[in-house]
Amino acid sequence: TSPFRLPLQDVYKIGGIGTVPVGRVETGIIKAGMVVTFAPSNVTTEVKSVEMHHEQLEQGSPGDNVGFNVKNVSVKDIRRWETSLLIPRTTPPRRPASFNAQASSSSITRVRLVLVTHP
């Protein structure tokens, strides 16, 4: 199986529960007791519970939109669009010193708009 990866769509603070990151599981699984790391903030924590549509799950699988409660993490510690990962402790995430990107642009000089109305 692939390692766990979940891009965060949002992070909530829920009264009586705590910090709940939410997102769609891309690869791997997530379940209570797992230790995950958020990148690029490099915050590591334990998953306390996993839910989907207000129902507790034993585990979240690829394609599931889940929320998961995490231990000792504030909503200020992690941000939207970070990625939650399961990473072996021997290979923590690192930021690259540099990277190359390829970009292109185009300009539209003429736009034709056709408006069709229906009775």
3-state secondary structure 17-82: CEEEEEEECCECCECCCCEEEEECCCEEEEEEEEEECCEECCCECCCCEEEEEECCCCCCCCCCCC
User: pLDDT tens, 91-109?
Assistant: 555 667 777 878 777 776 6
Q: What mean pLDDT, rounded, does the chain reach? A: 83
Q: 5-14 and 83-85 as β-strands: parallel, antiparallel, unpaired?
A: antiparallel
Q: What is the pLDDT of residue 112?
A: 63
CATH for 5-85 is: 2.40.30.10
- Rounded to whole angstroms, the Cα distance separating 66 from 47 reads 12
- Collapse the DSSP code of 101 into the 3-class scheme (helix H, G, I; strand E, B; otherwise coil) and give the result: coil
> Domain-by-domain residue ranges, the chain?
5-85
Q: What is the pLDDT of residues 19-59, one digit of tens each?
A: 999 999 998 999 999 999 888 888 999 999 999 998 999 99
Q: How far is CA 56 from CA 10, 18, 32, 67, in A?
A: 19, 15, 10, 10
pTM score of the predicted model = 0.70
Task: Pick the closest to residue 20 from 60, 70, 80, 59 (CA basis).
Answer: 70
